[in-house]
Structure 1
């Protein structure tokens, strides 16, 4: 019995992983319905497994469940964008505050090393902007590396819980972003974190919030830096 439950859980994770990939790549569009019958047929799994997989996506805020309407791919609105950015700002600003409290503006190599490596990976990903999933992941990795540098398990855990939402956020911004500018902007951002501190976090995220709200309320092109 336990083995059967474990098998169902493994299959549910597998289905959720594939659906997650399709959401983050944009092949499942915002607001698209995630119908249990279709998923059950497509993956050849039980209805219970489908529901477990969808619950996993809902918990990550990659899907939304509404009474009498079923589950659908999350569609960001302006309120959701502002709430996400406010939470990102609070967590990332606190991480930067701790880093500056310990190291001032001269962050040691052991702190900057992982951040620099993540920046290099973002630069590499942005050289092939057609692979936008790789750009999304590299972008998320830069921000995670900054937060992780503060060496606070609780802050890092909280920030990681936003990872899927952050990648969806960047997916929405894709038409308004220049990959080369995105990479250069994040090099500047890390420099500003050391010299300016937490205020640089708010300024950086405010730019991407402005881009996103413009995207959700056209017209308005806005700046082409962000994230």
Structure 2
């Protein structure tokens, strides 16, 4: 009599690989820097793909209109990031990018978007230069020594020029004629001890070719120097 056949189950040594699938939308992040001289925001957009599937970027829309996204590759690598740059006017207020991704597994992500709020980039309508003064008596020389602190509260440098003083002939000796962003330049003027008023007037030629004229700082001395 023949014995019963036995069937031995053998564990499988491999399995068919699952097809990668898109299950997370791409992430769009952004940063902006101010090109002060050009009066423009330079906005960098980054598109990150958290999926193991590549895709093709399409239907890109930007705001403000007419200020395109430049340098963004049209292919989005699996688990990778691509970047592009947009330049917008310094008074634009905001910028945005909206795009679609046609994934290689034949799915589509519509209207992935990013947004950034922007402040003002570029010189304001008017620029302020702050000037303070302090008079010190040099009794031995019978002179007042007047120190002027000229402070630039703006995010752009300038050059001090066309300096005029009172009384005439009492020259202003400047530490430097360059007024750096948020910096202070000290100047010194010496006048006779019997004088009780002094002043300086000057212009600032800013590095973006704007000029602030006739910055005036008087000094009134109410004591004697002896």
Q: Which range, TM-score by smaller chain?
A: under 0.3
More strand as a share of residues: 2
Using structure 2 for the length normalisation, give the TM-score: 0.26
More helix by share: 1
TM-score under structure 1 length normalisation:
0.26
